[in-house]
Amino acid sequence: MERLHPRVRFVWLSVVLLLAVVAGAVSAVAQYRFTGDWWVGVAVAVVVAGVGATYTVLRYRAWRFEVQADALFIERGVLTRITTVAPFVRVQHVDSQRGPIARLAGLAEVVVYTAGSRGADVSIPGLTPDRATALRERLRELAIESESEDAV
């Protein structure tokens, strides 16, 4: 079983902090308009950041994946634990993506598309660019090897 790169926690955490700041600012403005105080905003930001940070840590711990003999195996999820088995024969195409924050952290994401209704769900974040490229190439080879003409 392979784990994600530890730095992905900082990517997730920065999203959480951004959310905390926005939520805090909105609450602070709302409270300021009605009472002239703004401490609720700080409280909201602290709570959101705290919950989010805990969630991020748990999320990182839960995440693992493995390139098996004939399928990509992914296990993840904090509240709902999700296990996905995506057979290589069903792979339509493989992408690697790099979001703005992930780029700052020097990380990339591999997305595997299948014809299924939850196709885009199969994505692996938090890989080093080299690992992402290698994984993408490996998945692509495996998909071709397993004769993907009957992908539907």
Residues that bind another protein (CB under 8 A): 70-71, 77, 79-87, 89-90, 114-119, 121-122, 147, 150, 152
Taking the C-alpha atoms of residue 1 and residue 119, their distance in angstroms, rounded to an integer, is 22
Shortest distance (Å) from residue 26 CB to another protein: 25
Cβ atoms of 41 and 24 closer than 8 Å: yes
At 110, is the secondary structure helix, strand, or coil?
A: strand
Shortest distance (Å) from residue 22 CB to another protein: 27
**What residue type is 46 in one-letter code?**
V
Taking the least distance from each CB to another protein, the nearer of 103 and 118 is 118
- For 1, the token pair is 């079983």
Shortest distance (Å) from residue 23 CB to another protein: 23
Cβ atoms of 147 and 89 closer than 8 Å: yes
Count of residues for the chain?
152
Shortest distance (Å) from residue 113 CB to another protein: 11
